[in-house]
Amino acid sequence: MYSIKKISIDEAKIIWDSSPNANAFNNPTFLKYFKNLSIYAVFKGKEIFCCWPLQVKKNADCLIPDMFYYFGPFWSNKIKNIPYHSWLSYSSKVYELFLSKFTKKFKKINFELHYTLHDVRIFDWWNYNKNRYRFIINSRYTALIDDLKKKNENQIISDYRYSRRYELKKFKKIEKEIIETEIKTKELLNLYFKVVKVKNIKDKKAITKNIEIFNKLSKKKLCKTFAYKSKKTNKLISVIILAFDNLSSHLILSVSDEEWKKKGIMTWSIHKAIMFTKNKNLNSFDFNGANSPQRGDHKHSFGSKTKLFFNLNFKQ
């Protein structure tokens, strides 16, 4: 009754369009621009019930692409009709079919569940009572502003911490000194690596490649790059990149020049991105990760709620 096989982008997109776990990072249309991507599906009869995108490295490691979140399975909307008393049995059969396939093919498996998927028991029980080859399950958190459709700009700002409201008000007095503009990827990368310190060349190459793709996807309407320069110096001072799904925008990248950051440009640019999300008729703004003290506090200072999700690792 159950079977598994690799499927096409078009087949997966049909499921993704109505999936309760759909997000920008498992959107098949988005994924086709990245290398070494494939999508497997579990069928019940002839119907697809769950899809699982993978990026496979040359050494047979199956890992989350750099700067991605929630890169893992997404279910058909048919799961909405599954009664609670059947979910554990049903989901176990589906996940176990994926895991039996993947653990034979790959040495390492790293993926994340969307914050709508909290049942990790199946992965915790994999190879239960055995001394090796178990899943390591780590809790992760994101920061999410929701109900944007119900709020006007003043209501959105009222949820910000006082310091953010003060920075925003103060920066509006000097916003005429900057201009929003299109930029070349090289300019973006120069600012990014000036602000963000990367540990090694391998990571830098992978991040560089993905940033190049994210920036190009702005022309495909799958992402949006906001770039701001100083009118006086023509210097790039702030960049934000968002990715979109049917309900949310996702903050992929946010970097600002240190001098302008002190003036409050990061608060101002994030607020602009939140308002862009609302005006795009999307209901949620996802900061995508709030897992370090400083960054977590900064993201929650915009009134965002905490959402729990899980990162899972398997090594053999």
| % the chain with pLDDT above 90 | 84
**pTM beyond 0.75:** yes
Residue 187 buriedness (CB in 10 A; 0-12 / 13-18 / 19+): middle
- Six-digit token pair at 312? 């899972």
**Mean local confidence (pLDDT), 148-162:** 97
Selection from 26-30, 61-65, 198-202 with the highest mean pLDDT: 26-30
**Mean local confidence (pLDDT), 291-307:** 94
Domain ranges of the chain: 2-140, 147-282
Instruction: Please name the fold of domain 2-140.
Output: Aminopeptidase (3.40.630)
Residue 291, pLDDT score: 92
**Mean local confidence (pLDDT), 17-24:** 96
Whether 205 has a pLDDT exceeding 80, the answer reads yes
Residue 202: pLDDT band (50, 70, 90) is confident
**Mean local confidence (pLDDT), 229-242:** 96
Question: Which top CATH class is 147-282?
Answer: alpha beta
| % the chain with pLDDT above 70 | 100
The Cα–Cα gap between 174 and 261 comes to: 13
Residue 131: pLDDT band (50, 70, 90) is low
**Mean local confidence (pLDDT), 290-312:** 94
Q: How high does pLDDT run on average in the chain?
A: 94
CA distances for 156 relative to 148, 171, 187, 252, 301, angstroms = 8, 17, 32, 21, 12
Whether 130 has a pLDDT exceeding 90, the answer reads no
Residue 299, pLDDT score: 96
Same fold, 2-140 and 147-282: yes
Residue 129, pLDDT score: 76
Residue 52, pLDDT score: 98
Residue 67, pLDDT score: 94
pLDDT in tens, 77-127: 998 888 989 999 999 999 999 999 999 999 899 999 999 999 999 999 998
